[in-house]
Amino acid sequence: MIGFLLRKTLYDLWDNMFRIVIVNLGFIALAAVPIFLPRLAAKFIDSQALEIVLTALGMFLCSVYLSAAAYTLKSISDYGSFGFGDFLRNLKTAWPAGIVMGFLLFVFFMVVTIVIPFYMSIESLTGLILSAVVFWSTVFALLSFQFYFTVCTRLVTPGKNLIKAFRKCMLIALDNSGFSLFLLIHNIAAIVLSALLAFMFPGPAGILLYLDEALRLRLLKYDWLEANPGANRRKIPWDSLLIDEREKTGTRSLKNFIFPWKD
């Protein structure tokens, strides 16, 4: 299943490279708000509170944008495409999910920059235990909530039941712990690669598409388990479940990638 996931994602990224780059450019423009605006403001107003507010504002803007991007990129995962108008329509639908994730990201930011360093500064066993608990809780949150945007697009009514989305994220991560860890490691590697390419490709859009592809295929497992109660959850017949997907995706040679018009 993982091999097919990587192949399908690669094909979809390649076929929609221009759209992926455009979505990433929009994110890069918004990301300048939490990165540069607080530093700029600090040169004129010496206020830590103002810096925190501007950072939070930037996180909320980026999260709303990523939420709309996730709703839009879903069409690629479903063997379709999208246009600029689709993104604007999805923005109206996706902004509540983005606001919630923006708040969560701000909490992560505060935990990493303030809470964990504070506990580690306590030179005692209590401080060490507390910092360890917070650290591993943060790791579990990262494993779970990497699914948040795609869960909102596929499993939750738009703009509603966002608490349900968090619960589903945690259940998916717990039921697919190895798969979730693989996705997180892959996404970290994708971020490193994106940094080398100025985050234009694969970038945030590529990671969102990859996560949507991953959850979409993983849901086939639950459809099969629902149709086969009592089946062994450890022995999912992925070869049978992915027959239609493999036919739709097909295979390509290196020549097909570089010179598709010669087929």
Per-residue pLDDT band for 219 (boundaries 50, 70, 90) equals very high
Looking at per-residue pLDDT, the higher value among 231 and 42 belongs to 231
Q: CA 184 to CA 249: how far, in whole Å? A: 24
Encoded tokens for 117:
């360093």
Angle at CA of residue 22, ends 180 and 86, nearest 5°: 85
| pLDDT of res. 260 | 63
Per-residue pLDDT tens over the stretch 61-107: 999 999 999 999 999 999 999 998 999 999 999 999 999 999 999 99
Over 90: is that where the pLDDT of 55 sits? no
Q: What is the reported pTM?
A: 0.92
| pLDDT of res. 168 | 95
For the beta carbon of residue 260, count every other beta carbon within 10 angstroms. Answer: 11
| pLDDT of res. 89 | 94
Mean pLDDT throughout 163-176? 94
Q: CA 10 to CA 72: how far, in whole Å? A: 18
- Percent of the chain residues past pLDDT 70, beyond the cut: 96
Nearest of 18, 28, 13 to residue 65 by alpha carbon:
28
Looking at per-residue pLDDT, the higher value among 40 and 119 belongs to 119
Over 70: is that where the pLDDT of 263 sits? no
Per-residue pLDDT band for 45 (boundaries 50, 70, 90) equals confident
| pLDDT of res. 142 | 94
> In Å, how far are 93, 183, 184 from 187, measured between CA atoms?
26, 6, 5
Per-residue pLDDT tens over the stretch 172-215: 999 999 999 999 999 999 999 999 999 999 999 999 999 999 99
Over 60: is that where the pLDDT of 15 sits? yes
Mean pLDDT throughout 213-218? 96
Phi, psi (5° rounding) for residue 228?
-130, 70
Encoded tokens for 6:
């990587």
**Structural domain boundaries of the chain?**
2-226+234-253
User: Is-cis flag, bond preceding 202, omega within 30?
Assistant: yes
Mean pLDDT throughout 10-24? 95
Mean pLDDT throughout 48-65? 86
Greatest alpha-carbon span in the chain: 68
Are 248 and 79 a contacting pair, CB within 8 Å? yes
Name every residue whose Cβ is closer than 8 Å to that of residue 109 and which is 6 or more positions away in sequence.
55, 59
Exposure string of 218-252, with b = 16+ CB inside 10 Å and e = fewer, is bebbeebeeeeeeeeeeebebeeebeebeeeeeee
DSSP 261: G
